[in-house]
Amino acid sequence: MGETPPDKIPDHPNMLLPPPLIFLAALVAGLLLQHFVPLPWLPHASTDWIGYPLGAAAGALAIWGALTLRSARTAINPYQPTTAIVQTGPYRFTRNPLYLALLLLCIGIAAWRNALWILLALIPAVVVLRLGVIDREEAYLAGKFGAEYRTYQARVRRWI
């Protein structure tokens, strides 16, 4: 059989699932398990002062990351083509600030609800994110941007 014409090759990473859906599934699973089999992990008095700041930090990081992508005029939606390797804003410190924001939000909710099950559900979620999303994104970006992306990848950590 013949090769796929270049104009028919999708210009996106062909990820397994949308990242917010992965984290939402972990959050729902953790909350359901917590409802039926409560498993606290923090002293009750500390849940709010840990959970709320983590949630606020997650929101701030997500907004900063999204605004940085918008100012670089590249897609926030990972199902659309990436037009630039963004290396400013939070992308100076982490290659995945939006995923880190989702992770921080879930950890914040786990603290606020004092639900260890959420933290445990995040383990397979992060594995799915890594294998089904991040690895595909990184292969896509390396293929599209070559040495520019590999240099960025070598300089900036995946998470923090």
**Mean predicted lDDT score pLDDT of the chain:** 93
CB neighbours of 88 closer than 8 A, spacing ≥ 6? 68, 72
Mean pLDDT of 25-53: 97
State the pLDDT at residue 132.
95
CB neighbours of 72 closer than 8 A, spacing ≥ 6? 84, 86, 88
State the pLDDT at residue 108.
98
State if pTM tops 0.75.
yes
State the pLDDT at residue 5.
47
